[in-house]
Amino acid sequence: MSDRELRVSKIRNGTVVDHIAAGQALNVLAILGIDADSGETVSVGMRVPSDRLGSKDIVKVEGRELSQDEVDVLSLIAPAATINIVREFDVVEKHRVERPSEVEGVLSCPNRHCITTSDEPVASRFDVLDDGIRCQYCDTIVRDDIAEQIDVP
Amino acid sequence: MSGDSRASRAGLYSMRHDHIISAKQLSRADIEEVLDRAAEVAADPEAAADRHENTLLGLLFFEPSTRTKMSFTAAIKRLGGDVVDMGTVESSSVKKGESLADTVRVVEGYADALVLRHPSEGSAKMATEFVDVPLINGGDGAGQHPTQTLLDLYSIRESAGFDDLTIGIMGDLKYGRTVHSLAHALTNFDARQHFISPESLQLPRSVRYDLHEAGASIREHTELEPVLPELDVLYVTRIQRERFPDDSEYREVAGQYQIDSETLEAARDDLTVLHPLPRVDEIAHDLDDTEYAHYFQQAHNGVPVRMALLDLLLEGER
């Protein structure tokens, strides 16, 4: 990528989530729990031209690596995403996300009568179906609106 | 649901289960083992009288209950044991803000097994993550009620049998936990299931998904009349007032799903009518003394069936 095309600046240490489906970058930030008050240095590119996807979103977060739970949920809304771990401006690790068989935390169950939405010491857990997710506690199935279930603190 | 700590238990099928949370976990063999044991107990209750002497069953009912609570109490007492009862929510530490997780952790120290009824779906499953003693789901919100299903199946086997069964399940299919559990369990048998309800109270997506996955034969209807002559069993449930925005809409809808002796003129003579009870007015009292009415016997079956289940669950604990 030439300087003329560079739309998102490099980071020194942190994570680049690339090849996010166009329009999903803000949901990726929500998965990472990043908002205006979180303090991280964040660069976001939206609808950046992409050979693989036509157009894509990209998120760069300085000083932050992702937990497995976050990567698992990320795979549901950005199945083509790649995660790049950057140290001293170099990409030291790069891998694609894989669709897990279950996801824990990060999402909340849309059923307000589900025990995971009450004040109990239990994290949400969902089985991943071919076309959605299913709460392991109350069985509620979520198909089209998974990003809406991101648990915003 | 198997656990290494209980791997040495006697018994073939039910002993795989530490806890009874959902009808989905029950295989045909599990179900038949419980029903066979229940039939033995019903035939000779004395033989089981001291089988679980000194065993304490902890009752945690966060919602009102008559049949489930009393029949579990009767069941453990008829096995020689007794209950320790949390009592009402108002009189317990729950009122002080104690979590369910803490409550079950504490009470498992007082009892050999627990029965939990709670208004939140998934509560029983969560509770099992905090206890080692067997835990039985006595109803979790609009989720599951597996022990009701076992006595429903016992009643169906007694009256109609499972071969080539055609069953109609009518009423509140969306929120009715007894319906969800029964529908799941019936996928183990050669049963055609007809679901009859107003459109607003049809089966939830999750149950429909499971029935489809299980390859079950199901049909959905908004009226009883077309399907009634085919039925061996009609399982009626209560449509609850609180599911509707206003009283007039409730009365209009609920009125379409009430049966009386005139409704059943189109039914087969050997139709079995079941209801998990309590009823309001969905079954007219003029049916109570007819051959169709099996719902009081069904409620009575709760004792031998729960005796059988407790006997099997606690067998390896002795």
A138 contact residues in B (CB cutoff 8 A)? 120-122, 141, 143
What value of ipTM does the predicted structure carry? 0.90
Residue B225 contacts residue B250 (beta carbons within 8 Å): no
A90 found inside a domain: yes
- In a shared domain, residues B96 and B70: yes
Instruction: Please report the pLDDT score of residue B13 as a whole number.
Output: 46
B281 & B166 share domain: yes
pLDDT tops 70 at residue A141: yes
| Per-residue pLDDT reduced to its tens digit, B173-220 | 999 999 999 999 999 999 999 999 999 999 999 999 999 999 999 999
**Based on the domain organization, do B168 and B293 belong to the same domain?**
yes
- What CATH number has the domain bearing residue A50? 3.30.70.140
Number of residues assigned to chain A: 153
> Around Cβ B78, how many Cβ atoms within 10 Å?
20
Neighbours of A76 (CB within 10 A): 23
- The DSSP 8-state label assigned to residue B124 in this structure reads H
Check whether residue B18 and residue B39 sit in a common domain. yes
Strand partners, A84: A16, A94
Cβ of A115 within 8 Å of Cβ of B205? The answer is: no
What's the confidence (pLDDT) of residue B246? Answer: 85
The pLDDT assigned to B205 comes to: 95
Report the C-alpha gap between B78 and B69 in whole angstroms: 14
Q: State how far the alpha carbon of A94 is from the alpha carbons of A18, A87, B156, in Å.
A: 10, 12, 59
Range of the domain at B170: 146-300
pLDDT for position B6: 39
Half-sphere exposure of B1 (CA within 13 A, CB side): 24
Give tens-digit pLDDT for B75-108: 999 999 999 999 888 777 777 789 999 999 999 9
Cβ atoms of B64 and B87 within 8 Å: the answer is: no
Of A13-17, B171-175, B195-199, B314-318, the one with minimum mean pLDDT is B314-318
What's the CATH number where B8 sits?
Answer: 3.40.50.1370
Measure in Å the smallest separation between the Cα of B22 and chain A Cα atoms: 11
**Domain check: are A124 and A92 in the same one?**
no
Mean pLDDT of A21-36: 93
Whether residues B150 and B112 share a domain: the answer is: no
Q: What is the mean pLDDT of residues B135-155?
A: 97
User: A136: which chain B residues are within 8 Å (Cβ-Cβ)?
Assistant: 122, 125
Q: Are B210 and B251 in contact (CB under 8 A)?
A: no
How many C-beta atoms surround the C-beta of residue B196 within 10 A? 26
Q: Which domain holds residue A131?
A: 102-149
Contact between B72 and B115 under an 8 Å Cβ cutoff? The reply is yes
Please compute the mean of the pLDDT values over residues A109-121 and round it to a whole number.
96
In this predicted structure, the answer to whether residue A152 has a pLDDT above a threshold of 90 is no
- Does B162 lie in the same domain as B259? yes
pLDDT of A145 higher than 90: no
State both tokens at B119. 């208004």
| Residues B86, B178 share a domain | no
Residues A81 and A139 in one domain: no
Q: Say if residue A76 is in the same domain as residue A114.
A: no
pLDDT digits over B267-299, tens only?
Answer: 999 999 999 999 999 999 999 999 999 999 999
Measured between beta carbons, the chain B residues lying within 8 angstroms of A131 are none
CATH number at residue A110: 2.30.30.20
Mean pLDDT of A64-87: 94
pLDDT, tens digit (0-9, with 9 covering 90-100), for A2-14: 455 555 678 999 9
Interface test with B, best of A104, A120, A131, A145 (most B CBs within 10 A): A120
Question: Residue A120 and residue B126: Cβ atoms within 8 Å?
Answer: yes
User: Residue A1 domain-assigned?
Assistant: no
Distance CA A125, CA B31 (A): 28
Place of tokens 């939206």: A46
| pLDDT above 90 (res A35) | no
Q: Rounded mean pLDDT of A87-101?
A: 95
B167 and B135 part of one domain = no
Mean per-residue pLDDT of chain B:
92
Give the global pTM: 0.90
Per residue in B39-76, pLDDT (tens digit) is: 999 999 999 999 999 999 999 999 999 999 999 999 99
Number of domains in chain A: 2
Structural domains of chain B, count: 2
User: Which residue(s) pair with B274 in the sheet?
Assistant: B235
Looking at residue A37, what is its pLDDT? 86
